[in-house]
Structure 1
Amino acid sequence: MQHRPERWLYGDRGMKVERCRKGRARPDGILAPFGFPAGHGDWSDTGGVLMAVDVTSHDSDTHQGDRVEKPDGYAGAGIPVYLLVDRDDGSVVVYNQPENGRYLHAEKLPFGASVKLPGPVGIILDTAPLKEFAD
C-alpha cells in the first residue's frame, strides 16, 4: 500500500461469494480500491476486489474452509488473486487466473521467499517476517 496509495487492505470484510458457505465469506483481508466498502453495508459484492487474503487458523474447519471452499468460491466470484497464508506448514499459496469457478494456477512457496503477486496486484511480497508468526 506504500507503493499504491489508491488501494487499501480491508480486514474482516464480509463479501457475497455465492459458491461459499451460504453465499457469504469473510476473508481475513481484501485488497481493493480505497473507499471500496462505502455504501456496501455488511456484505460487499466482489466487483473491484483485487485480492482476498486468508490466514489458516488452528480450528478443525480450516482445511475445508480455507484450502477447499474459499479458493473455489473466490474464483467463482471472479476475484483475480487469492493469497493463503498457511501457518500449518509455513507456506503461502498464491492462486490466480480464475476461470469457470476454479483458479488455473496455484504456486506454493515457503515462508522466507519473495512472492510475486500477479496482476492486478503486481507486487513482490517478502514473506520472511511471517516466520516469526508461524506458531
Structure 2
Amino acid sequence: MSRRYHRKSRQFMIGDTLTIPQDKPDIEFLLRMTAVPTIDKATGADKKVIFSGHVLVTIEYVACVPDGTQPIHFVSFEQPFTGAISHRSARPDRSIHLKGLMEVQELQLVGPRQVKTSLQLKVCSVKLVRCRSPLPTHAGEA
C-alpha cells in the first residue's frame, strides 16, 4: 500500500466570481482554466499545522470583438486560502513541508466580464522534522 494514504490532509473548496480587467476584451466563450496551488506559509502549533497560500488561476478565452477575428486572450488571478490540519507530531519547533493538490476545477461564465470558479483543493502533510536543516520550498501540482 502506498504511503500517501497515511498522510494527514485537509480538503476544502474555494471559489469566487472573478472580473476580467478593463484592458481585456469581453468573453465570447471560455476555452480552459488551469489552477496551481502554492503553500506560502506553514507553521506548527501544539498538534496542529496552520497554513496559508494561494491558487494561481489562469483562464484562456476567445474574445468578443466587433471585427469578428475572435482572438484568444489569457488572464490570471490569485485566490488566497488558509487552513489547519490536526497532526499529533506538529510542534512549533518542527519544520513542516506541505503539498497542495487540485482535486476538482469548475469554471462557469456568469457574464461577458465575469467568471465563477469552484476549486476543490487538498493540502497534505509530507514531512515534519526538527529544524536542524531547512526543507525545500512547498510544492503544488495542477
Task: Report the TM range for the smaller structure's normalisation.
Answer: under 0.3
Structure ranking higher in strand proportion: 2
Query: TM-score, length-normalised on structure 1?
Result: 0.28
**Higher CA-based Rg:** 2
Q: Which has the higher contact order (CA 8 A, sep 6+)?
A: 2
